[in-house]
C-alpha cells in the first residue's frame, strides 16, 4: 500500500510537470456542435449498443479533461468506434469550444463539492488525483463521483487490456486487484457528483 501511494505521488509530480497548455475554448461557439453530442450525452441512462454500458455523464466534468478525452479519440489513445467517429473531423479549436460549452452547462453538485460516501479503503490511492469525494483535484483529471458504474468498470478494463491508454492511468489500473475493480466502480458511482447534461 505504501509503495502504491508513493508511486502515485511520483506520478502526480510528473503529471504536473508535463501538463500541456490547453486552449481556452469559446462556449458560445461550441454550442451548435454541442447539440449533436447531447443526442447521446443528454439522455438519462442512454446505452452504448456494444458492449452495453451507459454513455458517460459529462455534466460537471471540466473543460480541460473533456478536451483531453476528445483528442484521445481523435489521436488514437482511445478506440471507442462511435466516439472516434465523433472526434476525427474536429479541429483543436472546435474541440476547445465544444468542451467549454459542455463544461458550462450542468454539474451543480460538482461545483458544490459533492458528498463523501462511506469510506472505502481501496479508493484511498485514487483520491490523490480523483479527490477525496471523487471530484478531481485538477482540471485535467476526470471527476469520477456519480459517473455510471458500468461505464467506470468498462474504463478500468480498457486500461488493463490496452483498449485505452494513458501514461498515468494505465499504470494505476494495472495495480488494482481483480476483485476490487467492480467495487471501485460501484464506490465512485455511488458518490454525489456528475450529472447527465440537460439540453437547454
Residues forming contacts to ligand HEC in the complex (CB under 6 A) are: 8, 11-12, 33, 36-37, 39-41, 48, 55-56, 58, 66, 68-70, 72, 78, 80, 82-83, 86, 98, 102, 125-126, 128-130, 141-142, 144, 147, 152, 154-156, 164, 166, 168-169, 172, 176, 184
| Smaller CB separation from ligand HEC, 113 or 182 | 182
Contacts of 178 (CB under 8 A, 6+ apart): none
The minimum distance between CB 17 and ligand HEC, in angstroms, equals: 13
CA distance 118 to 25: 37
| Smaller CB separation from ligand HEC, 94 or 115 | 94
The minimum distance between CB 57 and ligand HEC, in angstroms, equals: 8
The minimum distance between CB 184 and ligand HEC, in angstroms, equals: 4
| Smaller CB separation from ligand HEC, 115 or 183 | 183
CA distance 155 to 123: 16
CA distance 27 to 8: 33
Burial class (CB in 10 A: 0-12, 13-18, 19+), 91: exposed
The minimum distance between CB 117 and ligand HEC, in angstroms, equals: 14
| Smaller CB separation from ligand HEC, 12 or 113 | 12
Question: Cell numbers at residue 193, please?
Answer: 457528483
| Smaller CB separation from ligand HEC, 88 or 112 | 88
The minimum distance between CB 115 and ligand HEC, in angstroms, equals: 18
Contacts of 9 (CB under 8 A, 6+ apart): 128
188 Cα distance to chain centroid: 12
CA distance 167 to 5: 17
Amino acid at each position: 500500500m505504501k509503495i502504491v501511494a508513493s508511486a502515485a505521488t511520483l506520478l502526480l509530480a510528473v503529471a504536473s510537470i508535463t501538463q500541456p497548455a490547453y486552449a481556452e475554448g469559446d462556449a458560445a461557439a461550441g454550442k451548435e456542435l454541442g447539440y449533436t453530442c447531447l443526442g447521446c450525452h443528454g439522455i438519462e441512462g442512454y446505452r452504448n449498443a456494444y458492449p452495453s454500458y451507459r454513455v458517460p455523464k459529462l455534466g460537471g466534468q471540466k473543460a480541460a479533461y473533456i478536451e483531453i478525452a476528445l483528442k484521445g479519440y481523435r489521436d488514437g489513445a482511445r478506440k471507442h468506434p462511435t466516439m472516434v467517429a465523433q472526434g476525427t473531423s474536429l479541429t483543436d479549436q472546435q474541440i476547445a469550444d465544444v468542451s467549454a460549452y459542455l463544461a458550462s452547462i450542468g454539474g451543480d453538485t460538482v461545483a458544490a463539492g459533492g458528498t463523501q460516501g462511506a469510506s472505502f479503503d481501496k479508493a484511498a490511492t485514487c483520491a490523490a488525483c480523483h479527490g477525496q469525494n471523487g471530484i478531481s483535484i485538477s482540471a485535467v483529471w476526470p471527476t469520477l463521483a456519480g459517473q455510471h458504474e458500468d461505464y467506470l468498470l468498462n474504463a478500468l478494463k480498457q486500461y488493463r487490456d490496452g483498449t485505452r491508454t494513458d501514461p498515468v492511468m494505465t499504470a494505476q489500473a494495472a495495480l488494482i486487484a481483480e476483485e476490487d475493480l467492480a467495487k471501485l466502480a460501484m464506490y465512485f458511482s455511488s458518490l454525489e457528483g456528475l450529472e447527465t447534461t440537460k439540453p437547454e
